[in-house]
A and B are shown apart, each in its own frame.
Chain A
Amino acid sequence: QTVVTQEPSLTVSPGGTVTLTCASSTGAVTSGFYPSWFQQKPGQPPRTMIYLTSRKHSWTPARFSGSLLGGKAALTLSGVQPEDEADYYCLLSVGGAWVFGGGTKLAVL
């Protein structure tokens, strides 16, 4: 069973930059894993922020960017805003199934 690992929690100051990562127990994450990133605030459904590693939706703020970094998928927030405080989940396609990471709780303090 594939395990997808994210940092449990991160803290960033307003205006700062933070990178969240997403690793697969199967080995290096590539674009073929179709990495996606979702933001979830309390009491709300997830919202898709990044898909196919780095592509953005019309609602994705420009400060969000996705990439591959050191064998992992990565989500970077540059110029963090207070409203970015949320849980972030990555999602990978592995062998025909989809596997979520455990999520990263991002605090903006």
Chain B
Amino acid sequence: VQLVQSGAEVKKPGASVKVSCKASGYTFTTYYIHFVRQAPGQGLEWLGIVIPSDGSTNYPQKFQGRVTLTRDTSTSTVYMELSSLRSDDTAVYYCARELRGGYWDYWGQGTLVTVSS
């Protein structure tokens, strides 16, 4: 099982960023994919979940309207787009896998997103 994320990004305030998470080694539609972020020196923060089998999503209220998770079943890839970037969005963004019902296991290696003018 592997979750391989795209490379580091540098963006200006107000722009958008799109991070990918490519899954391999298992049946893509069997597991949910979450995105989690970690600002420098801070804790983990949940950004949302996508269910690859049907594309349905759920986001915490804080990020509704700013985070969009999509999936491409032909390439077993999940995308996380974050819009209207601010400096406090600077963080490492991770994807992680969950089998329905709280069975969390594998994580991606993380993608550093830096927001700076």
A residues contacting B by CB (< 8 A) are: 1, 34, 36, 38, 40, 45-48, 51-52, 55, 57, 89, 91, 93, 96-103
B: interface residue count bin: 20 to 34
Q: Judging by beta carbons under 8 Å apart, are B43 and A102 in contact?
A: yes
Chain B nearest CB: distance from A56 CB in Å? Answer: 11
A31 to chain B: closest residue by CB: B102
A51-B105 contact in complex given A45-B94, A97-B58, A98-B49, C-beta closer than 8 Å: yes
Stretch in B8-16, B23-31, B71-79, B106-114 with 4+ CB within 8 Å of A: B106-114
Q: Judging by beta carbons under 8 Å apart, are A45 and B46 in contact?
A: no
Can you add 7 more A-B contacts, CB < 8 Å, to A45-B107, A91-B44?
A46-B36, A46-B107, A47-B107, A89-B43, A97-B46, A97-B60, A100-B36
A36-B107 contact in complex given A96-B58, A98-B46, A100-B44, C-beta closer than 8 Å: no
B43 to chain A: closest residue by CB: A103
Option from A34, A38, A47, A101 in Cβ contact (under 8 Å) with B102:
A34
Chain A nearest CB: distance from B115 CB in Å? Answer: 21
Provide the B41-85 mask, 1 if CB < 8 A to any CB of A, else 0: 001111001000000001011000000000000000000000000
Q: Judging by beta carbons under 8 Å apart, are A52 and B102 in contact?
A: yes
User: What are 26 A-B pairs at a CB distance below 8 A?
Assistant: A1-B61, A34-B101, A36-B102, A45-B108, A45-B109, A45-B110, A46-B36, A46-B44, A46-B94, A46-B107, A48-B96, A51-B104, A51-B105, A52-B102, A52-B103, A89-B43, A89-B44, A91-B46, A93-B102, A98-B34, A100-B43, A100-B44, A100-B46, A101-B43, A102-B43, A103-B44
A-chain residues with CB within 8 Å of residue B103 when the two chains form the complex: 51-52, 55
A-chain residues with CB within 8 Å of residue B102 when the two chains form the complex: 34, 36, 51-52, 93
